[in-house]
Structure 1
């Protein structure tokens, strides 16, 4: 299969989780014998932060604007499948171009489904519109559960299918690092996550000054009052994630409000941390118990006291090992690549007027 992906970023993981999701998925997809071309908008905030400029398992090409994207019309027209990702700059125009140009399956891969739906309901059509959803042959969603039926019934998607994030098991594993932190958190700053991060880590750090904490990720406002026992790391490239998790006795998962409301929205960080056999303490949302078993493969927390209790548990290592076993059995990139292959093979391309199929 020849697959063309127009995604937010493959080259830079700075400030986004899309890059690591695409890297794991597409590397595994290519390993199954498929050809992959990734088209990425060349934007200044990623240009200076690229940590994968030349992958050896797919072609990565940058385009400066919509006019330059048209250079790839022939590749898109001849592809067996084309995927447009969420948060792509000028995503509506990119989606219309893909739908107009492709002759094979055209799918939308939403790595932000609850956020996308909240934006649509506000009339915010930054990268997707209701009519575009109906024009995609398939809606691949990082959110499963009832949202899939909603996409079909409310927005007219011909086929909405779950395609959760995953993890490259060859990259994310325990590294044998000495434990440096009692509790870690890895994630870009978000207004709606910060109250939970404060409750489940910052307040915990204040209540347990003898323990060590770390928050890694960019864009945190300078005015945040971090306790003295909370270390800050501005940006942590994916190459250092496994060592980071391995150095953590526990790691925290914090979910955005829109994703909690929809449920069934596991962050890529859950898969990565679990694959490193690090015990996870998480906020609650519907569907999480279908991913990891509470109190055996993950610990759930509603408030500061719950996290303090978790940090005093003696079975963190066992919880981490059980979480890793579950992820390796069901949620590696190899599993997800098979699912993607099956989804694309089952989709039926819509009849489209195509004028560039023979273009170079």
Structure 2
């Protein structure tokens, strides 16, 4: 099939086949960079799709392939061309078939995928086709989500007639009747299926039914050989809930995965007369001032937690609680304030490490 593109894009001769259309690799001669032009065929509502794709150009995320331009194919007005950032790496489906992931690698891939979906949702967009072959790992090991041919906007056109999606990854509510409405939760469900597939290289049999069968218990992520932390397994289990209202927001999934990727990488600085550093896992720091109060703080690898206190102890002027997680920056006060000279003020600051991919 012959495709005609705007003059600024020069085909390299490489062409790929994808869902809903072909992908032509070109050079953008204006900016001297490679681009991937995806052609969508048999568009029923051309104006709607062009408007939505133009809006998607505003989306900026490290984990989402950027859309640079949208045009109508000059050869065939029924085709729309989407000019996207070109990612030369393998798609996740190919990588899964070639690689056995460690726990750290698994969590990093899920964290990146959750971050990308969260960024998409923050723009009011529902991707609608999250699956391993719609994401690539680039040469710097950064995961990027692509293929927005099915994307819709929350609250604007979040419904469809008939089934649209990929069997196995499509949420159960997408199978209900001729007229189907949906929410961000369909992407969360597809994320959950992808997370399972990433480890097991297969989809549970019950989810391959049309529609998925929830009459029997689904296998839990806690059963994976990777030995996920219990809170991570529990949250991933919820992504596959039959009821979309029970699925967590992708920002919550992202934050929890990021938290465990930063296990043991925090440092706290305490100022009480002089500066003390505090960063060893299971280390306990005891802050005791005679006649004022005492507080013991433990670093569990994830948080700095009040393990014990005695007397009048306050965090940011609020009474402390046993097991309380300290915020990233706070002032701990010892003493009840009945005598201002009989109080000690302790500055507590926690570093802000970033996930290294």
Range of TM-score over shorter length: under 0.3
- For the pair shown, the structure with the greater C-alpha radius of gyration is 2
Bigger RCO (CA 8 Å, 6+ sep): 1
More strand, by proportion: 2
TM-score by length of 2: 0.21
